[in-house]
Chain A
């Protein structure tokens, strides 16, 4: 049972826009910034979004993040086949005094 809640799966067709939600509480998302990671099969996670909506250098602007209250979302526009991966949200939790992850969302490009 993950501290942050994500849907286990999401899907879309090429070119479509998809969103992945991440729900938390006042001790994590409600009081800290949210970060997102992409994990392709058999590889290490890749840094995707930090501080709610900032993209690291090299991440396409098709990826965007947002946060409202105790929830956050990752949006992927212009979906491509290479976006098929697992996506994880993460935030610091002040009560647990640690970084907490969502359970991950498996994105399928149909």
Chain B
């Protein structure tokens, strides 16, 4: 069974840093792309970024709102995903989910989208 468990959330002051972790189990972690998605209190889902697998050179993409401040990394030997968050702003307050990405082709169309999600960890940026 696929299992994703986030940790590392908490209260941090504006301008501060925080590192989130996501422990994965139940699948071959190294084969998969992984995403971070966040949800501000009472708001909708917002994609944060993606890391691809070794076969795709571990390339990363980020949402414009976090680019240059957040860094996604992974350690395949530990089945773990990380999100380093620097220069935090009050608007970064949200529940942060890690998610496995399922990718493939269907009728000639490529898809790559989160399938399994963790339970989330709350990050509060406030003075």
Contacts and interface: CB of A to CB of B under 8 A. Distances in A.
B20 to A, nearest CB: 15
Contact of B45 (A32, A33, A37): A37
B98 to A, nearest CB: 10
Interface string B98-127: 000010001101111111111110000000
Nearest to B109: A33
Contact of A90 (B113, B116, B118): B113
B44 A33 contact: no
Contact of A51 (B61, B62, B111): B111
Contacts of B118: 44
Contact of A56 (B46, B47, B49, B115): B115
A97 B116 contact: no
A87 to B, nearest CB: 11
Contact of A50 (B47, B63, B107, B115): B115
Contact-residue bracket for chain B:
20 to 34
A63 interface: no
Interface in A27-66: 32-33, 35, 37, 39, 44-47, 50-52, 54, 56
Given A45-B97, A98-B47, A101-B44, A33 B111 contact: yes
A99 B113 contact: yes
Interface in A83-110: 86, 88, 90, 92, 96-104
Contacts of B114: 37, 45, 47, 99
30 contacts: A32-B110, A33-B106, A33-B110, A44-B117, A44-B118, A44-B120, A45-B97, A45-B114, A47-B114, A50-B102, A50-B115, A51-B109, A51-B111, A52-B109, A54-B106, A56-B115, A88-B44, A90-B45, A92-B113, A96-B63, A96-B64, A98-B49, A98-B50, A98-B62, A98-B64, A99-B47, A99-B114, A101-B45, A101-B47, A103-B44
Interface of B: 35, 37, 44-47, 49-50, 61-64, 97, 102, 106-107, 109-120
The 6 closest A-B pairs by CB, nearest first: A51-B106, A99-B47, A44-B117, A104-B44, A35-B113, A51-B111
